[in-house]
Amino acid sequence: MKRLLLLFFLVLSLASCRQTSPPPDNQEFRKVWQSLAESDNWCFGEQRLDETRDALQKDGLPTSEQSQLWRRLAQQHLRLNHNEEAKTAIEKAVELAEPAQLPEMRAERGLVYLRLGEVRNCVLRGNQNSCIFPLDEKTVHLDQRPARSAFDDLLFYLNARKDNPTDLSFYRSRRWLLNIAAMQLGEYPELVPEEYRLELTGAETNPNLVFEDVAAGVGIIEKNLAGGAAAEDMNGDGLIDILSASCDFREPTRLYLNLGDGTFQDSTLEAGLQDQTGAFNVRTADYDGDGDQDVLLLRGAFLRELGTVRNSLLRNDGKGHFTDVTVEAGLAGVGHPTGTACWGDFNGDGKLDLFIGNETITHEDGTQERHPNEFYLNNGDGTFTEQAEKAGVEGLVYAKGVATADIDNDGDLDLFCTDFTYKNVPDKFRGRNLLFRNRGDATFEEVGQEMGIDWPAYRGFACWFFDYDNDGWQDLFVACYETEVDSEVSRFLGFNGPAGRTALYRNNQGQSFTNVSYEVGLSAVMSTMGASFGDLDHDGWLDMYLGTGSAFYDHLVPNLMLQNRGGQFDDVTFRHGLGHLQKGHGIVFCDFDNDGDQDIYAQMGGNFVGDAFSNSLFMNPGNDNHRLYLTLKSDFQVVGARIEVVTQDRSFHRAVGMVSSFGHTPLRQEIGLGRISSVDRLIIRWPSGVVQEVLKPPLDKQLRITEGNEKYEELDSPAFQLRRPQPGDPFCEPLAQKD
């Protein structure tokens, strides 16, 4: 009877799922989707599925080969979200497996069962805590059948291979998943044999600062694929809204307007965004200088030749309605697979220019699919002129992250670009991360090796500039997307995994950079997709939230929260309830409710059809620390402005508009001060060259400071509380029915 009641409530939960907008009908991007669906693309294509089915029809196939083909078919079905078909296929593979194959086949079946359990109990989730690791009594699966079957299969594999693991990495990752399955059943640790049990040391929460996922309560539940996220005031009402993109060409970029009462309204249709689909990343900027935030959508990442599709520049009318002006702005051009870009005034004329990083693919023989970076100078009339070759920033690399900052404090913005070249490419053909130093006239010299920041040599991903040590010089964080799941969770598995490739480079006053990763506590393996930075506890030190994992289903690993304690980083993921098991992508730190602390919007989900997931909004419980809220205004430009907050005890440093690779934080500055109760001076170094001081600015109030105006304005921005999920709220939203 208890089981029947649990299943009844699960059905009620699923019945509460809702669709907030109709499927888009943009023929341009619908054609892209059709091309992808008919291709062998591993994210979206069905051609490989058809090929495997055809192979299974051949006569005279040995039983072992049939088993492997059924296994391959199951994997392909999983990627396409055909979960029941995947279950049927893998069960056939197990049925046909020879004795020597059986352990691996059952482990593979366990993975399929895990995914089924995730879909039924977490993707279509029963509560906001369903996927927060370590899983507790609130996260136990209502439908336990998949997790039970997964546990049995994984245990069978481990017992069969414990004396002679054929693949140690595979063995360790299945041990990890065995513990996950036990947690899903609510029977951890007693169900897990001691020899396979995880030691969850350091997993205690901090009762005073536990974040709560309130996405369902505030009305931003959506289920989509990886894309970028941005937080800005899009309709001019003084409240910070959310833009969320998806790389699925059937899914629109969504706009959630902040209503100022603790909830958001899905305004995708009203904003004219319903046909803006397939965006892997999103960037906001006031490119036309009219005082509102416009939007750039980037497309084609990871799709190679099928990703040669245009980006979109969307002009804001000031009220949150957008018009596609890509063609008239001169940005349509030749389509490239694109996943990253940054805005900045690179020639010092007060107008925002644009750097776009594209994906040049280098093959094992050294041949390339060439997609050079693009560099557009703003003409000031709504159009742009491409200048990459002339500027010296074409950089034929597999660009996955770009960032801009004034690295030498000489008044102009420099550029950084990561390289994601595949691991199997010989060293002589691998690229490296690039640092372009601005000569002051929007031409650049590449100085990565000279400045000491070209490592890791490949698989570079998310990146950003920030002043982690508050010394007034912009440092550089570079994530690497290269690891096995067993390495990433080595601290739970009782062995020392290989060192990660994540790098934090300290800026040596503009002369060079030093890799200080080990010195500051960043030596653990961290396979990072999307990430961002902010101030978790408003102590004035910038922290990091890393979205981790890979596109494969065995990568159920917790995202990471790294707290900066005076220049040293501690893993506080579990202390603050932020260990979400799904892949994190677009990450934004922002005080959405004006209550004095930064919340975290985290876009979850992978990059193939079957890996869609609901996004999260982690509400910060707050503390009593003081802070400065600053909105800067200038007729020239504010992106790149440098802020120094001088107190009796120390100084704090920020740079405006220095965003991460997939999360676009607001231009508004939210600067924590810890227990410091007064500020002596606020110094703003404007991009125009003007240096402005404000004496004794008030704390814990939102201030608007205008370049050249000695008086600041206090903004009327009352605090409110984000609405917590209530009984009956939808905790899931299925993909819309699409062609």
CA dist list (Å): 497 to 68, 185, 530, 554, 710: 30, 28, 22, 17, 55
Q: How high is the pLDDT of residue 202?
A: 72
List Cβ neighbours of 379 (8 Å cut-off, separation of 6 or more): 351, 385
List Cβ neighbours of 278 (8 Å cut-off, separation of 6 or more): 29, 32, 33, 246, 247, 248, 249, 250, 251, 299, 309
**pLDDT, mean of residues 670-684:** 95
| Spatial separation of the C-alpha atoms in residues 542 and 71, rounded to whole Å | 46
Whether 393 shows a pLDDT value over 50: the answer reads: yes
Residue of higher predicted confidence among 727 and 7: 727
Whether 345 shows a pLDDT value over 60: the answer reads: yes
Please check whether residue 114 is in contact with residue 553, taking contact to mean a CB–CB distance below 8 angstroms. Answer: yes
Q: How high is the pLDDT of residue 131?
A: 85
Helix, strand or coil, per DSSP, at residue 266: strand
List Cβ neighbours of 283 (8 Å cut-off, separation of 6 or more): 228, 230, 295, 296, 298, 341, 342, 343, 659, 664
CA angle 17, 18, 21 (to 5 degrees): 155
User: Could you tell me the pLDDT band of residue 14, with boundaries at 50, 70 and 90?
Assistant: very low
Find the largest Cα–Cα distance for the chain.
86
Residue 600's beta-bridge partner residues? 589, 618
Please check whether residue 546 is in contact with residue 560, taking contact to mean a CB–CB distance below 8 angstroms. Answer: yes
Q: How high is the pLDDT of residue 24?
A: 65
Q: How high is the pLDDT of residue 500?
A: 61
Whether 268 shows a pLDDT value over 60: the answer reads: yes
End-to-end CA distance of the chain: 40
Q: How high is the pLDDT of residue 631?
A: 95
- Please write the tens of the pLDDT for every residue from 78-135: 999 899 999 999 999 999 999 999 999 999 999 999 999 988 887 765 567 778 898 8
- Please write the tens of the pLDDT for every residue from 497-550: 765 678 999 999 999 999 999 999 998 888 888 899 999 999 999 999 999 877
| Spatial separation of the C-alpha atoms in residues 357 and 534, rounded to whole Å | 24
User: Could you tell me the pLDDT band of residue 13, with boundaries at 50, 70 and 90?
Assistant: very low
| Spatial separation of the C-alpha atoms in residues 126 and 216, rounded to whole Å | 11
Whether 602 shows a pLDDT value over 60: the answer reads: yes
- pTM tops 0.85: yes
Q: How high is the pLDDT of residue 16?
A: 39
For the ranges 198-207, 353-362, 488-497, the maximum mean pLDDT occurs at: 353-362
- Please write the tens of the pLDDT for every residue from 626-645: 999 999 999 999 999 999 99
Q: How high is the pLDDT of residue 11?
A: 39
Residue 257 in tokens: 């307007």
- Find where tokens 């054609």 sit: 31
Please check whether residue 184 is in contact with residue 121, taking contact to mean a CB–CB distance below 8 angstroms. Answer: yes
List Cβ neighbours of 239 (8 Å cut-off, separation of 6 or more): 233, 257, 258, 259, 260, 594
For the ranges 136-150, 195-209, 560-574, 609-623, the maximum mean pLDDT occurs at: 560-574
Strand arrangement, sheet containing 599-604: 212-213, 616-619, 599-604, 584-590
Least trusted range by pLDDT, from 210-219, 309-318, 449-458, 622-631 = 449-458
User: Could you tell me the pLDDT band of residue 7, with boundaries at 50, 70 and 90?
Assistant: very low
The amino acid sitting at 650 is R
| Spatial separation of the C-alpha atoms in residues 316 and 690, rounded to whole Å | 29
Q: For 176, which DSSP code?
A: H
CA angle 551, 553, 554 (to 5 degrees): 110
What radius of gyration, in Å, describes the C-alpha atoms of the chain? 25
Q: How high is the pLDDT of residue 120?
A: 84
**pLDDT, mean of residues 163-168:** 89
Please check whether residue 19 is in contact with residue 735, taking contact to mean a CB–CB distance below 8 angstroms. Answer: no
Q: How high is the pLDDT of residue 127?
A: 67
Q: How high is the pLDDT of residue 126?
A: 55
User: Could you tell me the pLDDT band of residue 8, with boundaries at 50, 70 and 90?
Assistant: very low
CA angle 282, 580, 116 (to 5 degrees): 100
List Cβ neighbours of 101 (8 Å cut-off, separation of 6 or more): 64, 67, 68
**pLDDT, mean of residues 576-590:** 91
Q: For 252, which DSSP code?
A: B
| Spatial separation of the C-alpha atoms in residues 76 and 89, rounded to whole Å | 10
Helix, strand or coil, per DSSP, at residue 267: coil
DSSP H or E run through 175 = helix 168-185
List Cβ neighbours of 665 (8 Å cut-off, separation of 6 or more): 231, 532, 534, 588, 589, 590, 659
Give per-residue burial for 700-715: e unless 16+ CB within 10 Å, then b. Answer: eebbebebeeeebeee
| Spatial separation of the C-alpha atoms in residues 502 and 454, rounded to whole Å | 12
CA dist list (Å): 256 to 25, 125, 219, 230, 253: 20, 21, 9, 11, 10
Give the CA dihedral 667, 673, 678, 684, nearest 10 degrees.
-30
Please state, as a whole number, how many other Cβ atoms lie within 10 Å of the Cβ of residue 114.
Answer: 24
Nearest CA to 35 among 45, 23, 27?
45
Q: What is the mean pLDDT of the chain?
A: 89
| Spatial separation of the C-alpha atoms in residues 494 and 491, rounded to whole Å | 6
| Spatial separation of the C-alpha atoms in residues 437 and 656, rounded to whole Å | 19
| Spatial separation of the C-alpha atoms in residues 113 and 107, rounded to whole Å | 10
Please check whether residue 133 is in contact with residue 558, taking contact to mean a CB–CB distance below 8 angstroms. Answer: yes
Whether 267 shows a pLDDT value over 60: the answer reads: yes
User: Could you tell me the pLDDT band of residue 204, with boundaries at 50, 70 and 90?
Assistant: confident
- φ/ψ of residue 182, rounded to 5: -65, -40
List Cβ neighbours of 124 (8 Å cut-off, separation of 6 or more): 13, 14, 17, 732, 734
Whether 658 shows a pLDDT value over 80: the answer reads: no
Give per-residue burial for 212-240: e unless 16+ CB within 10 Å, then b. Answer: bbbbbbbbbbbbbbbbbbbbbbbbeeebb
Please check whether residue 488 is in contact with residue 498, taking contact to mean a CB–CB distance below 8 angstroms. Answer: no
Q: What is the DSSP string of 397-411?
A: SBEEEEEEE-TTSSS
Which ranges of 415-500 would DSSP assign to H, the alpha helix? 448-451, 485-488, 490-493
Q: How high is the pLDDT of residue 121?
A: 83
Angle between helix axes 63-79 and 47-56 (nearest 10 degrees) is 160
Q: How high is the pLDDT of residue 21?
A: 46
Strand arrangement, sheet containing 434-438: 399-405, 414-419, 434-438, 444-446
Q: For 207, which DSSP code?
A: T
Strand arrangement, sheet containing 691-695: 651-655, 642-646, 681-685, 691-695
Please state, as a whole number, how many other Cβ atoms lie within 10 Å of the Cβ of residue 5.
Answer: 10
List Cβ neighbours of 499 (8 Å cut-off, separation of 6 or more): 523, 525
Whether 203 shows a pLDDT value over 70: the answer reads: yes
List Cβ neighbours of 508 (8 Å cut-off, separation of 6 or more): 473, 514
Proportion of the chain above pLDDT 90, given as a percent = 70
| Spatial separation of the C-alpha atoms in residues 598 and 591, rounded to whole Å | 4
